[in-house]
A = this chain, B = another copy of it.
Amino acid sequence: MTVIEPDPVVQLREQMRERHLTPLWELEGEIMGVRPHPGTRPWLWRWSQLYAIAERAGELVPIERGGDRRAIALSNPGQGGMPYATSTLWAAVQWLNGREVAPAHRHTSQAIRFIIDGAGSYSTVEGDRVQLERGDLVLTPPWTWHDHGSDSEERAVWMDVLDIPLNNYLDAPFFEPHPDDSQKVTAAPNASVLKYGVGQLRPAWEPPSLGRSPLQTYKWSDTRRALDNLAKVAADPFDDVVLEYTNPHTGGPVMATFTCWMQLLRPGVHTRAHRHTGSSVYLAYEGRGATVIEGVRFSWTAGDMFVIPSWATHEHVNDGADPALLFSVHDTPLLKAVDKYRSEPHDSPDGRQRVTGEFS
A residues with a Cβ closer than 8 A to B are 8-9, 12, 15-16, 19-29, 31-38, 40, 43, 45, 49-50, 53, 56-57, 60-61, 63-64, 66-77, 82-83, 87-88, 90, 92, 107-110, 142, 163-164, 166-176, 187-188, 191, 193-205, 208, 211, 213, 215, 218, 222-223, 225-226, 229-230, 232-234, 236, 238-239, 242-251, 256-257, 261-263, 277-279, 309-311, 334-335, 337-342
Contacts and interface: CB of A to CB of B under 8 A. Distances in A.
A211 B74 CA distance: 36
Contacts of A170: 87-88, 277-278, 310, 334-335, 338, 340
A205 B235 CA distance: 9
Contact of A72 (B23, B63, B66, B309): B23
B232 A23 contact: no
A64 B26 CA distance: 11
Given A35-B173, A174-B342, A199-B248, 9 more contacts: A9-B60, A20-B77, A36-B171, A38-B171, A191-B233, A198-B199, A200-B222, A204-B243, A337-B338
B342 A172 contact: yes
A185 B67 CA distance: 59
A89 to B, nearest CB: 12
Nearest to A110: B339
Given A60-B9, A234-B195, A251-B251, A211 B169 contact: no
Contacts of A166: 338
Contact of A229 (B53, B197, B199): B197
Of the candidates A31, A35, A233, A341, the one having the most CB atoms from chain B within 10 angstroms of its own CB is: A31
B72 A24 contact: yes
Contact of A204 (B63, B211, B232, B244): B244
Contacts of A257: 338-339
A236 B69 contact: no
A341 to B, nearest CB: 8
A339 B142 contact: yes
B239 A225 contact: no
Contact of A68 (B28, B56, B164, B334): B28
A264 to B, nearest CB: 11
B334 A201 contact: no
Nearest to A82: B31
Contacts of A242: 203-205
A201 B223 CA distance: 7
